[in-house]
């Protein structure tokens, strides 16, 4: 298992940072819990964001006392269709996290989301700071998808998607890049950096297409690769560091091209 340990916290530390390092979730998720009154420090409900805690303070979320987690997990899962990202929903019985069979499964939370009908690369961790780096829009971590439509998308429509589409909110939905797949007219690769809820499905539905299949194949410098549906693996140290640094390029082994050896008696010049 991967266990890239964070440097020890320097106290006092902001409450949401402390919570993230305890494996509660990303900092934004922790801030939401604070704002909604789920967090107590020394038996007092805290709703402000500027509070700092010391090593002696007792921090609780919904009555559960938090402790910093020493071991860090960074896991890539190929989520199959039909599984949900939430860890509990009374109307669901197939959870993506349950596919990750490790001792500390209960500490894991998903980094970003994939809707129930989508499949592909989904990251899990118990490191809130890592999750925040990967999901925060300012870090521009790319998410690349293989999209199957009911027909070939026109260049004009794809350019509209790059320019931005106002669909159901004041902020536009947009893709940053697309690539057609050779000899497969219904398929294309689409890249975006935000990945808001059902963003690709909303974009193509607005443009008049039906999304027949949606697979996430890359997040930043991490590719889905040969992972079969339901399989998971630990991220390498290089992948974790790459995501923390905001890298979107995938390191692949370089091809070594050797010049042909000259035959005996061949005195031709190169």
pLDDT at 5: 47
Q: Which pair of tokens denotes residue 113? A: 């989301």
pLDDT tens, position by position, 78-119: 999 999 998 778 889 899 999 999 988 888 999 999 999 999
Instruction: List every span in the chain annotated with CATH 3.30.70.1560.
Output: 142-219
Looking at residue 149, its pLDDT comes to 97
- Non-local (6+) Cβ contacts of 95 within 8 A are 83, 84, 86, 87, 88
Instruction: Compute the distance between CA of residue 61 and CA of residue 15 in angstroms, rounded to an integer.
Output: 11
pLDDT recorded at residue 264: 52
pLDDT number for residue 259: 54
Catalytic residue among 3, 32, 115, 267: 115
CA-CA distance, 21 to 86, in Å (whole number)? 20
User: Does 142-219 carry CATH code 3.40.190.80?
Assistant: no
Is residue 115 annotated as part of the catalytic site, yes or no?
yes
- State the pLDDT at residue 192: 95
Q: How confident is the model at residue 265 (pLDDT cuts 50, 70, 90)?
A: low
**Per-residue pLDDT at 256:** 52
CATH of domain 13-65: 3.10.290.10
Q: Which residue has the higher pLDDT, 36 or 1?
A: 36
139's tokens: 């870090």
Mean pLDDT of the chain: 89
Give residue 73's pLDDT band: very low, low, confident or very high (50, 70, 90).
Answer: very high
- Which pLDDT score is estimated for 175? 97
**Delimiting residues of CATH 3.10.290.10 domain(s) in the chain:** 13-65
């Amino acid at each position: 298992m991967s266990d890239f340990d964070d440097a020890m916290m320097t106290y006092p530390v902001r409450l949401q940072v402390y919570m993230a390092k305890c494996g509660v979730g990303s900092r934004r998720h922790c801030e939401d819990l604070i704002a909604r009154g789920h967090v107590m420090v020394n038996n007092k409900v805290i709703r402000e964001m500027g509070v700092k805690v010391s090593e002696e303070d007792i921090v609780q979320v919904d009555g559960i006392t938090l402790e910093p987690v020493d071991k860090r997990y960074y896991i890539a899962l190929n989520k199959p269709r039909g599984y949900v990202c939430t860890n509990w929903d009374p109307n669901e019985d197939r959870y993506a996290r349950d596919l990750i069979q490790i001792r500390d499964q209960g500490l894991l939370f998903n980094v970003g989301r994939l809707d129930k009908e989508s499949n592909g690369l989904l990251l899990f961790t118990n490191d809130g700071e890592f999750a925040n780096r990967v999901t925060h829009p300012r870090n521009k971590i790319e998410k690349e998808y293989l999209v199957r439509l009911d027909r070939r998308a026109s260049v004009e429509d794809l350019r509209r998607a790059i320019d931005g589409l106002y669909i159901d909110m004041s902020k536009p939905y947009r893709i940053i890049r697309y690539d057609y797949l050779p000899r497969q007219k219904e398929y294309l690769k689409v890249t975006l950096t935000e990945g808001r809820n059902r963003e690709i499905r909303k974009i193509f539905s607005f443009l008049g297409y039906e999304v027949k299949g949606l697979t996430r194949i890359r997040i930043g410098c991490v590719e889905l690769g040969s992972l079969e549906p339901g399989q998971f693996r630990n991220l390498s140290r290089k992948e974790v560091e790459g995501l923390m640094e905001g890298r979107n390029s995938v390191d692949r082994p370089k091809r070594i091209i050797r010049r042909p050896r000259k035959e005996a008696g061949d005195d031709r010049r190169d």
